[in-house]
């Protein structure tokens, strides 16, 4: 099996990396005129797809990494979460541990 992921190079997106200073009051990336996207935030979600997790769209999953929509300046999807994402992985891979 092979997996390819391509990050959108449209000038509308302002990609950032881990060393970026995060606004401590909002826990978001600092705002610009662009759509500010954190690489770790997006790639953690995409890695979930590599592990066969699907996008989630119900509002109860809004805080989960596999929720299918990312917001401007968002950082909360930098890790898989126990109460949804990891449960999904355990269902797909029942012998796996943390």
pLDDT in tens, 51-68: 889 999 999 888 889 999
- Looking at residue 96, its pLDDT comes to 65
Tokens of 7: 């990050």
DSSP string, 54-76: PPB-SGGGTTSTTBS---TT--T
Q: Which range, 18-22, 25-29, 70-74, has the best average confidence (pLDDT)? A: 70-74
The pTM for the full model equals 0.75
Mean pLDDT of 21-31: 67
Task: Name the average pLDDT for the chain.
Answer: 80
Domain limits, the chain: 38-98
Mean pLDDT of 66-80: 86
């Amino acid at each position: 099996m092979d997996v390819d992921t391509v990050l959108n190079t449209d000038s509308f997106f302002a990609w950032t990396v881990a060393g970026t200073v995060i606004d401590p009051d909002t826990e978001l990336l600092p705002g610009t005129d662009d759509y500010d996207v954190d690489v770790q935030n997006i790639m953690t979600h995409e890695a979930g797809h590599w592990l066969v997790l699907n996008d989630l769209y119900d509002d109860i999953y809004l805080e989960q990494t596999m929720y299918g929509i990312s917001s401007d300046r968002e950082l909360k999807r930098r890790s898989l979460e126990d109460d949804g994402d990891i449960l999904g992985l355990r269902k797909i891979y029942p012998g796996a541990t943390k």
